[in-house]
């Protein structure tokens, strides 16, 4: 939101702030404070509820330290090094491997090799023809060193891989039926060259990822795409139109049914956490922007004071990941489909043990061993014997009703930190009359259920308020108690961190046993009985109004 410095409020109010502050801070690393941690938790909970209510989605919680083989198979390892070289004269930066490759030379990803090739080929700056400097290595993944001499490990650059390599566990869990999906909430790590802009580009970030698996012959989700929320779709051909995910699928804007479905889920989730759907659009990746494995990718973008930022990527990963893990691990990560039952007659050649024993009673074991090794002849007692005559052909009926295939994957990946940034951006508003800031987030992601405030900290009001506070805590409500300063100041304090209800204990409370409940957005107050508070907070009757 323009006019409000989100970062300043986040820092002052303990929502989020730069990590390692007392040591000067480190860019791209942010911590969540007392309010932010709780909000983050509730956003994650909302996301999980949205996803898990599909019925055929299950959770996975994997490690962040990752086996190197996984990243070699996934292709990350090869992109682990970025070789850059800079013009000494004008400062233009190039990818060293690109420069060499452009000259038709097959590239070896090695610094010294690239350095000598550049010298050998006499490659100069493309802009000013100046001399190029030293080839530098940028590591894009964080490396974890093990014992000296052994292979290093890496912190995962995405949470997805754990869900691919454990595909079979989930395939069994879902009793071998597709489609199903796996979700993970966790951290990923990327060594960004220049992480900046608060929560937008981080080196350690929170992701909520979903990997859904389909039979390529039936790429359909179990429910129909959302048809009640419309947003703008921007295609890679530059077309722009307003549509619901269902429309978009039916009109062929979005090719994949599940992809359209997940767009709808995303919209439902955004709206549940208070993101303004009017400031959301889906943008299709251009051909040259697509990852090498993807045939179709859509980003959900939100409009914030940083401009349009990507908050979710929905990518068609095809069979890329499972295929690579099958190759690299040699393990079975196939799914099976039922096909029309057919009987196949298989011809097999078998060893005729009886004849061998009858003809060569003493050498039979030697002959059999030779045949099992695949020998076609053997010399026994000076005579060369053709072993092929001991093979008899047999026919066998085999019933085939299943076949293997590699499932295709559609991945909706939500960037939690950017979603938090968007939520704050869309919900921080300035009151017109006072100029004070109010964070109008939904109750479901509000950091606390309510604040309990005595009108004044005397005449027993504080004692009464405190007993209400203790009582609500016992009933597992998340509440705060505050008796400092004037009542108006306290209301404002909780408005700014998005707490929806302030419960005030005043002089009538002592007489009548009731309190006032004040609504954050409207500032309207009503009176209810003390006993009714739990029920009221549980029902949240003000939500959505």
Partner RNA sequence: GCAGGUGUUGUGUAGCCUGGUAGCACAAAGGCCUUCCAAGCCUUUAGCCCGGGUUCAAAUCCCGGCACCUGCACCA
Footprint of RNA on this chain (CB under 7 A)? 8, 11-12, 18, 24-28, 79, 82, 84, 86, 91, 93, 95, 138, 140, 157-158, 190, 192-194, 196-198, 201, 285, 289, 291, 297, 299, 310, 313, 434, 436-437, 455-458, 484-489, 491-493, 496, 504, 506-507, 516, 518, 523-525
Give the CB-side neighbour count of residue 102, counting CA atoms within 13 A: 11
Least Å from the CB of residue 92 to RNA: 7
The phi-psi region of residue 276 (left if phi > 0; otherwise alpha if psi is between -120 and 50; otherwise beta) is: beta
Shortest spacing between CB 391 and RNA, in angstroms = 55
For residue 126, the SS3 value is: coil
Name the minimum Å distance from CB 157 to RNA. Answer: 6
Nearer to RNA, 309 or 367 (CB): 309
Contacts of 399 (CB under 8 A, 6+ apart): 341, 342, 343, 344
If the CB atoms of residues 211 and 506 are measured against RNA, the closer one turns out to be: 506
Question: Exposure pattern of 363-383 as b/e (b: 16+ CB <10 Å)?
Answer: beeebbebbeeeeeebeeeee
Kindly tell me which of 59 and 521 has the beta carbon lying closer to RNA: 521
Provide the minimum distance between the beta carbon of 250 and RNA in the complex, in angstroms, as a whole number: 26
b/e per residue 156-190 (b: at least 16 CB within 10 A)? bbbbbbbbbbebeebbeebeeebbbbbbbbbebbb
Shortest Cβ distance from residue 305 to RNA (Å)? 10
Q: How far is the CB of 140 from RNA (least distance, A)?
A: 7
Side by side, which strands form the sheet with 153-155? 65-66, 153-155, 143-144
DSSP string over 494-518: HHHTT--EEEEE-HHHHHHSEEEEE
Of 314 and 356, CB closest to RNA = 314
For the chain, how far is it from start to end, CA to CA, in angstroms?
22
The tally of CA atoms less than 13 A away on the side-chain side of residue 101 is: 9
Beta bridge partners of 428: 439
With respect to RNA, which residue has the nearer C-beta, 17 or 180? 17
Which of residues 272 and 456 has its CB atom nearest to RNA in the complex? 456
Closest separation between CB of residue 410 and RNA, Å? Answer: 15
Cβ nearer to RNA, comparing 321 with 506: 506
């Amino acid at each position: 939101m323009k006019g409000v410095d989100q970062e300043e409020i986040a820092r002052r109010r303990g929502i989020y702030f730069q990590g390692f502050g007392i040591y000067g801070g480190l860019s791209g690393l942010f911590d969540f404070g007392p309010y932010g941690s709780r909000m983050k938790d509730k956003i994650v909970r909302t996301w999980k509820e949205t996803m898990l209510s599909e019925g055929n989605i299950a959770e996975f919680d994997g490690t962040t330290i990752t086996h190197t083989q996984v990243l070699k198979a996934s292709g990350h390892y090869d992109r682990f090094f970025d070789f850059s070289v800079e013009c000494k004269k004008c400062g233009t930066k190039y990818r060293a491997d690109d420069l060499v490759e452009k000259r038709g030379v097959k590239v070896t990803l090695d610094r010294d090799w690239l350095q000598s090739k550049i010298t050998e080929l006499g490659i100069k700056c493309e802009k000013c023809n100046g001399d190029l400097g030293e080839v530098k290595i940028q590591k894009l993944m964080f490396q974890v060193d093990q014992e000296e001499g052994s292979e290093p490990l890496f912190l995962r650059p995405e949470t997805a891989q754990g869900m691919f390599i454990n595909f079979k566990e989930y395939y069994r869990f879902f009793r071998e039926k597709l489609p199903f999906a796996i979700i993970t909430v966790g951290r990923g790590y990327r060594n960004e060259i220049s992480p900046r802009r608060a929560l937008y580009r981080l080196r350690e970030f929170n992701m909520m990822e979903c990997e859904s698996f389909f039979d390529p012959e039936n790429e359909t989700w179990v429910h129909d795409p959302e048809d009640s929320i419309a947003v703008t779709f921007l295609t890679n051909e530059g077309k722009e139109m307003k549509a619901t995910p269902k429309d978009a699928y039916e009109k062929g804007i979005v090719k994949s049914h599940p992809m359209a479905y997940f767009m709808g889920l995303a919209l439902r989730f955004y709206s549940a956490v208070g993101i303004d759907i009017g400031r959301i659009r889906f943008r299709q990746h251009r051909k040259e922007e697509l990852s090498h494995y993807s045939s179709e990718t859509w980003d959900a973008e939100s409009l914030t004071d940083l401009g349009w930022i990507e908050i979710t990527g929905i990518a068609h990963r095809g069979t890329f990941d499972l295929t690579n893990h099958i190759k690299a691990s040699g393990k079975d990560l196939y799914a099976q489909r039922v096909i029309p039952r057919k009987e196949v007659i298989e011809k097999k050649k078998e060893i005729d043990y009886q004849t061998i024993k009858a003809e060569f009673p003493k050498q039979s074991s030697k002959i059999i061993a030779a045949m099992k090794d695949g020998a076609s002849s053997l010399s026994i007692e000076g005579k060369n014997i053709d072993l092929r005559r001991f093979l008899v052909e047999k026919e066998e009926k085999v019933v085939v009703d299943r076949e293997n295939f590699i499932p295709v994957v559609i991945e909706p990946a939500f960037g939690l930190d950017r979603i938090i940034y968007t939520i704050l951006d869309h919900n921080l508003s300035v009151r017109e009359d006072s100029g004070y800031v109010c964070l109008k987030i939904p109750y479901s992601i509000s950091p606390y259920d309510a604040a309990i405030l005595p009108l004044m900290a005397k005449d027993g009001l504080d004692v009464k308020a405190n007993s209400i506070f203790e009582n609500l805590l016992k009933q597992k409500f998340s509440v705060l108690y505050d008796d400092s300063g004037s009542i108006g100041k306290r209301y404002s304090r909780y408005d700014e961190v998005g707490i929806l209800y302030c419960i005030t204990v005043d002089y009538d409370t002592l007489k009548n046993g009731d309190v006032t409940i004040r609504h954050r957005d409207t500032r309207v107050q009503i009176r209810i009985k003390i006993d009714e508070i739990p029920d009221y907070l549980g029902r949240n009757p003000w939500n959505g109004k």
